[in-house]
Amino acid sequence: EAQVTQNPRYLITVTGKKLTVTCSQNMNHEYMSWYRQDPGLGLRQIYYSMNVEVTDKGDVPEGYKVSRKEKRNFPLILESPSPNQTSLYFCASWSYSYEQYFGPGTRLTVT
């Protein structure tokens, strides 16, 4: 089954404790992206990747890091999380057709 998976689905952590949210796709898509979703603000792009080892900043990259060492994986790293990063995070992947496939989401709470 074609899918994008994210782990964990729910995470509660404390300020400053490094964390990684994993994202994996099995569709051999070239493009991948991370979004955060906050009430009233829609989906805002954090980082995106055009292929292995090629990444670029989206609209809200501050406080986040990404890497793309393999085509299928695109982890999101928060090295020192803060409460303003409490949000719902989505990973997505797509190919040249533009249709994006989203993962199920990760709800992060930073206290």
Partner 1 sequence: QQPVQSPQAVILREGEDAVINCSSSKALYSVHWYRQKHGEAPVFLMILLKGGEQKGHDKISASFNEKKQQSSLYLTASQLSYSGTYFCGTPGSARQLTFGSGTQLTVLP
- Quickly count: other Cβ atoms within 10 Å of residue 31's Cβ: 18
43-82 residues in contact with partner 1 (CB under 8 A) are 43-45, 48, 50, 56, 58-59
5-44 residues in contact with partner 1 (CB under 8 A) are 31, 33, 35, 40-44
Q: What is the distance between the alpha carbons of residues 108 and 16, in angstroms, rounded to a whole number?
A: 14
Q: In terms of C-beta distances under 8 Å and separation of at least 24 residues, what long-range contacts does 46-49 make, across chains too?
A: 46/76, 46/89, 47/76, 49/74
Minimum gap (Å) between residue 80 Cβ and partner 1? 26
Minimum gap (Å) between residue 68 Cβ and partner 1? 13
Range in contact with partner 1 (rule: CB under 8 A) among 7-15, 16-24, 75-83, 93-101: 93-101
Query: Which of 103, 111, 109 lies closest to 7 in space, CA to CA?
Result: 103
Residues in contact with partner 1 by CB under 8 A are 31, 33, 35, 40-45, 48, 50, 56, 58-59, 90, 94, 96, 98-105
